[in-house]
Structure 1
């Protein structure tokens, strides 16, 4: 089944084809709804972000009108794992706020029950995911979840291909930092100033300042906070780097 799904999504030639394929795959897996999306403010991003779903129109309008693509607890939970997860597990994955619980309750009011989300994270691009969801009151088909994981991976990659053809995918950073620039940015992320970084790395304070300035220019940013964010975003730095120092 997984191999068949892979070939189905590989062969699609348009977003409409992919939507039809996803509807068929969703039904065969035993779900009722699907969503392929980047985790961004969809309205603000316009056509630059992947977005394909068959959720109820009223729920989609509310979701977009409140820019929930950025704060959605399902999306946030997907940022802490590479494996697919059932939404019922979210309280064990991230702290849920009162607003999060309200959003989930509103979704159930619109007929959307438990779901299964497969993270899709590509360095240099907005984070994304593929979700399958059951109607409220219907259980998640747990025996099929390993296949759903693979189907979600294949589907999101097909969406990336289609959006790239349409010219809407973001450009991946093409000028990587040098090793020394990365070292400096890493210590900036730890809140160190130029003098402290110079002592740690055994170089002059002026050299540190130049490395950081050059790194900012490569990313097209002027603030050190944005420099660290961009380096984390494209995989130059990882949260593991920050924790182990």
Structure 2
């Protein structure tokens, strides 16, 4: 089955093909439903947002109408782990609010009981996941959960290729900063002003301002806070870069 999952990533050529393959794999794993996609308001995001599922249509309509892709407790729980988890574990992962409990209850009323979710975090993209679920009262197939972890990861990568075309050359797309621009943005992220950055890097204050302005232009933003956020999302900077105690310039 692991080889079959790998071939899905390499060979599916359309969303319909992926949906058919996922339906077959879902059944083979011992589940009834699958859902994969980005954690966004699907209606507002439009066709750029990724989503594929075979959930009951009434639940899918309610889900989209109320923009639950943003606040779904399953999605929020997936943001605090890097491996698959049972939905029954969510209360130990995040605080469940009354609204969360209502969403889970409504899901069960529409036929979605317990499930297993595989989180996917790709820098520069909206967070996402792949979930497998059964009707309320139907137990999870415990022996196939390790394969579900693989299936979720492979399927999400296949959908990324179909929706975004980024998987073949992920490092080739998006803005790229020079080493000195990256130095300056790092110190902005550390809370330093232009004068302090100029002393740290040994360049003029005007040069610092110019590097940051050019970095903003490359990312199409006009606020330094947004610039830092964008560089964190696409992997230009990491939280480890910001909080590490020892510093070496990015320049060779």
- Normalised TM-score (structure 1): 0.87
Q: Distance in 2 between matches of 1:204 and 1:243?
A: 25
Residue 6 of structure 1 aligns with which residue? 6
State the superposition RMSD in angstroms: 2.3
3-state SS of paired residue (2:192): coil
How far apart, CA to CA, are the structure 2 residues paired with 1:227 and 1:176? 12
CA distance in 2, matches of 1:81, 1:111: 26
Q: Deviations over 1:24-76 (max 9, x none)?
A: 11111111110111122111122212111011112111111121212222222
- Deviation for aligned residue 1:9: 5.2
Shift of 1:173: 4.2
Partners of 2:244 and 2:89 in 1: CA distance: 28
Residue 33 of structure 1 pairs with residue 3 of structure 2: no
Shift of the alpha carbon at 1:227? 0.8
Residue number in structure 2 paired with 1:144: 144
Q: Aligned pair count?
A: 241
TM-superposed CA distance for 1:82, in Å, is: 2.4
1:24 corresponding residue in structure 2: 24
Indicate the larger mover: 46-55 or 114-123: 114-123
- Matched residue, 1:204: 204
Report SS of the residue matched to 2:177: coil
What's the secondary structure of 2:80's corresponding residue? coil
Query: 2:114 aligns to what SS in structure 1?
Result: strand
Contact 2:198 2:205 in 1 (8 A): yes
Residue 147 of structure 1, CA deviation: 0.6
- Quote the offset at 1:172 in angstroms: 6.8
Residue matched to 2:126: 126
Query: CA separation in 2, counterparts of 1:96 and 1:199?
Result: 47
Structure 1 CA distance for aligned equivalents of residues 102 and 213 of structure 2: 44
Query: Is the alpha carbon distance of 1:55 and 1:172 closer, same or farther for their aligned partners in structure 2, counting shifts above 3 Å?
Result: farther
Q: Mean Cα displacement is larger for which, 59-68 or 172-181?
A: 172-181
Contact 1:124–1:172, Cα closer than 8 Å, also in 2: no
Q: What corresponds to 1:97 in structure 2?
A: 97
Question: TM-score normalised to the size of structure 2?
Answer: 0.85
Q: Distance in 1 between the 2:172 and 2:100 partners?
A: 31
Unaligned 5+ runs, structure 2? 246-252
CA contact (8 A) 2:118 2:131 kept: yes
Matches within 5 A, 1:60-79: 60-79=60-79
- Measure, in 2, the Cα distance between the counterparts of 1:211 and 1:127: 30
**Are the counterparts in 2 of residues 194 and 209 from structure 1 also a CA contact under 8 Å?**
yes
Are the counterparts in 2 of residues 9 and 21 from structure 1 also a CA contact under 8 Å? no
Contact 1:83 1:119 in 2 (8 A): yes
Please report how far the alpha carbon of residue 8 of structure 1 lies from its aligned counterpart in structure 2 after TM superposition.
Answer: 4.3
**Alpha-carbon distance between aligned partners in 2 of 1:73 and 1:106, rounded to the nearest angstrom:** 13
1:240, 1:171 → 2: CA distance? 20
Moved more, 153-162 or 9-18: 9-18
- Counterparts in 2 of 1:103 and 1:144: CA distance versus 1, 3 Å: same
CA contact (8 A) 2:115 2:133 kept: yes
